[in-house]
Amino acid sequence: MDPGQWMLWGLLLFLAVIIGNVAWVLGVRRLYRPRTAPPQLLRARCQDGWEVAVHARRAPKRRFEEPVLLCHGLAANRFTFDFAPPYSVAHYLTEAGFDCFSVEWRGTAHSRTPPSGRRYTDFTVDDHILQDGPALLELALKETGAKKVFWLGHSMGGLVGYGVAQGPHGHQIAGLLALGAPVFFKSEPLLRSLLGLGVRAAWPQRFRQEWMSATFAPFLGYVTLPLSDLLVNPQHVPPSIQRQVFANMLSSMSRKVLLQFRDWIENDTFRSYDGTVDWRAGMSRLTLPILVMGGSSDRLATAENVRKQYELLTSPDRTLHVFGRDRGDQMDYGHGDLMFGAGAPTEIYPLIRAWLEERATLLPKPVEQPVSTPTLPA
The whole-number pLDDT of residue 373 equals 53
Query: What domain count does the chain have?
Result: 1
Average pLDDT, the chain: 90
Examine residue 30 and state whether it is found in any structural domain, yes or no. Answer: no
* 343-356 b/e (C-beta count within 10 Å ≥ 16 → b): ebbebbbeebbebb
What CATH code is carried by the domain that includes residue 148?
3.40.50.1820
Examine residue 15 and state whether it is found in any structural domain, yes or no. Answer: no
Examine residue 20 and state whether it is found in any structural domain, yes or no. Answer: no
Region 184-212: mean pLDDT is 75
The model's confidence at residue 377, banded by pLDDT at 50, 70 and 90, is very low
Of residues 370 and 27, which shows the higher confidence score?
Answer: 27
Examine residue 25 and state whether it is found in any structural domain, yes or no. Answer: no
The whole-number pLDDT of residue 378 equals 44
CB-based burial label for 181 (10 Å; 0-12, 13-18, 19+): buried
Examine residue 124 and state whether it is found in any structural domain, yes or no. Answer: yes
Examine residue 3 and state whether it is found in any structural domain, yes or no. Answer: no
The whole-number pLDDT of residue 187 equals 67
Examine residue 182 and state whether it is found in any structural domain, yes or no. Answer: yes
Please tell me the pTM assigned to this model.
Answer: 0.93
Segments forming the whole domain that contains residue 84 = 38-368
For the stretch 64-95, pLDDT in tens is 999 999 999 998 999 999 999 999 999 999 99
For the stretch 232-275, pLDDT in tens is 888 899 999 999 998 999 888 899 999 999 999 989 999 999 99
Has residue 227 got a pLDDT over 80? no
The model's confidence at residue 372, banded by pLDDT at 50, 70 and 90, is low
Range with the poorest average pLDDT among 53-62, 204-213, 326-335: 204-213
Has residue 209 got a pLDDT over 70? yes
How far apart CA 354 and CA 360 sit, in angstroms, is 10
Examine residue 10 and state whether it is found in any structural domain, yes or no. Answer: no
User: Could you report how far apart the first and last alpha carbons of the chain are, in Å?
Assistant: 50
